[in-house]
Structure 1
Amino acid sequence: MKIAVLYFSATGNTKKMADVIESALAELGAQVEKFDVTVPAGRKEPMDFSVYDGVIFGAPIHSMRAPRVLREWLQTLNGQGKKAAMYFTYGGFHVHPCHYSTREILATAGFTVVASAEFLGAHTFNRGGWQAVPQRPDASDYAAAKDYAAAVYARFSGKDGGVLGELEKTDMNEEFLDAIEGFRFKALTQLPTRNGKECSLCMACQEQCPSGAMDAEKGEADPALCIACLGCLDVCPEDALEINDMSGVFAQRMEMEKSTPQDLNKKQSKIYL
């Protein structure tokens, strides 16, 4: 059986799970091909899914949905009736309606979605002072990823003929969800910038920016394009980029959610069948 794993991973969490899933599927006898669709170049060429028995899509959750640039790209695909599975990584906060909304996009694109999952991973805003599941994914999350791979393999192979069941929906329309997505920039008030500092201009921040927002020579992100993933901070070998301190926003979020960092870390990865 031949399976494609496509993942969007600006800061590495989703790739970590893709690697575990790939290994688990290979142990079950599948031939796996991975595609990194994080940067625009990875989403440029048309995808032909005719040679695959199933396709797995992995992404982080940004404000209760898959990242905007990924959602837009998924809508351009031709699923050709292929079986598909989804998985998401998130930093301990709200998950839904990401499963439902992404399943709807894939179904409209011609895929039959048979499984989904969510895995804990350190929140990208930890780079600005948050304390949201900083040690995740851990052994429990990797174990869940292996179980997910086994379940997906069974459904792709036909041993388990099921498809993905009911998912939590939402009364929020797309315009309202877009507004919620904008709240990311209420926390991240200073987009990544060198703030006038010199660097070696290795270009990593620009080349690995998922939305094409980062200009390495200017040393700043375009606010019209930035999706607040902070992948540029992650790949900079010189720690030359800066953002604002968001620790106060995290404290407010904890108070609003009536939660603590310890409560967030008690959450467990979950599989949906």
Structure 2
Amino acid sequence: MKILTLYYSATGNTEKIADVITKKLRELGADAERKDITPYNTRQNEIDLSPYDAVIFGFPVYSWRAPREAREWLYTLDGRNMKCSMFFTYGGFIIHPAHYSTQQILEKQGFTVVSSAEFLARHTFNLGGWKAMEDRPNGSDCEVAEEYAERTYRRFTGEDNGILQDLEKTEYTEEFLDEIEKFRFKILTQLPTREGAECSLCGICEESCPSGAMDAETGEADPEKCTACLACVSKCPEDALKINDMKGSWEYKLNIENISVDEMNKKKSRIYL
């Protein structure tokens, strides 16, 4: 069985889980491949799914959903009744309705969703001083990823004929969820910038940007396109890109979510069947 894992990973968390899943699928006998669809230019080229028997989609959760550019890209795919699965990485705060929202898109595009999963991971804003899930994903998360791969594989092969059961739905409108996305920019008040400093102009920041927002030459992110994923900051080999200090908003975030660090750290990765 030929299985493709397509993943979006701005800061490396989703990629790490995708690697664990791909390795486990190969151990189970699958012809498993993975492809990084994070860079903007990658998603401008059509991806041919016809050689594959099943596909797995992996995304981080930004403001309760998969990233906007990833959701828009999903609408370009033709599922043709292909079995698929999905998984998410998140920084310990709200995860839903990411599963339900993405399932609705995939089913609309003709996929049959057989499973889903969520994995704890370092929050993107740790790059600015937050301390959310600093040591995740860890060994226990990777064990859940291996179990997810095994149980999903059984559903792909037909050994288990089940499909994904009802997920936690949402009463929120798309318009409301769009407004929630804007909250990220109340925390990230200074978009990635070199602040006029020189660098080697390697271009990695621009090449890795999922939304086409970063201009390597100017060292500035376009505010109309930036989604606050911080891929450019994470991947810059010279640490040349700067953002605002977010330490002051960390306690504020804990308070509005009504959760403590200890409570967050007790959360576990989870499989949905």
Q: 2-side partners of 1:194 and 1:49: how far apart?
A: 39
- In the TM superposition, residue 51 of structure 1 has moved relative to its aligned partner by 1.9
Q: Does 2:250 match 1:250?
A: yes
Match runs of 1:77-116 below 5 Å: 77-116=77-116
Q: 1-side partners of 2:179 and 2:258: how far apart?
A: 23
Match runs of 1:1-273 below 5 Å: 1-273=1-273
Structure 2 length-normalised TM: 0.99
Question: How many pairs does the alignment contain?
Answer: 273
Structure 1 length-normalised TM: 0.99
Q: 1-side partners of 2:64 and 2:130: how far apart?
A: 18
> Is the 2:87–2:116 Cα contact (8 Å) retained in structure 1?
yes
Q: 2-side partners of 1:38 and 1:123: how far apart?
A: 17
Q: 1-side partners of 2:265 and 2:110: how far apart?
A: 36
Q: 2-side partners of 1:116 and 1:185: how far apart?
A: 29
> Is the 1:191–1:243 Cα contact (8 Å) retained in structure 2?
yes
SS of residue in 1 equivalent to 2:14? helix
- In the TM superposition, residue 50 of structure 1 has moved relative to its aligned partner by 2.1
Letter matched to residue 198 of structure 1: E
> Is the 2:93–2:257 Cα contact (8 Å) retained in structure 1?
no
Q: 2-side partners of 1:42 and 1:198: how far apart?
A: 28
- In the TM superposition, residue 261 of structure 1 has moved relative to its aligned partner by 1.9
Q: 1-side partners of 2:262 and 2:249: how far apart?
A: 17
Q: 2-side partners of 1:85 and 1:72: how far apart?
A: 18
> Is the 1:35–1:42 Cα contact (8 Å) retained in structure 2?
no
- In the TM superposition, residue 243 of structure 1 has moved relative to its aligned partner by 0.6
Question: CA-to-partner distance for each residue in 1:188-221, whole Å, 9 max, x for gaps?
Answer: 0000001111111111101111111001111110
User: Deviating runs (4+, > 3 A) in structure 1?
Assistant: none
SS of residue in 2 equivalent to 1:152? helix
Gaps of 5+ in 1: none
Letter matched to residue 2 of structure 1: K
Q: 2-side partners of 1:162 and 1:31: how far apart?
A: 22
Gaps of 5+ in 2: none
Letter matched to residue 119 of structure 2: F
> Is the 1:49–1:80 Cα contact (8 Å) retained in structure 2?
no
SS of residue in 1 equivalent to 2:245? coil
Question: CA-to-partner distance for each residue in 1:82-139, whole Å, 9 max, x for gaps?
Answer: 0000000000010000000000000001100000000011001001110100100000
SS of residue in 2 equivalent to 1:70? helix
Letter matched to residue 184 of structure 2: R
104-113 vs 246-255, greater mean Cα deviation: 246-255
- In the TM superposition, residue 44 of structure 1 has moved relative to its aligned partner by 2.0
SS of residue in 1 equivalent to 2:147? helix
261-270 vs 21-30, greater mean Cα deviation: 261-270
Q: 2-side partners of 1:212 and 1:97: how far apart?
A: 26
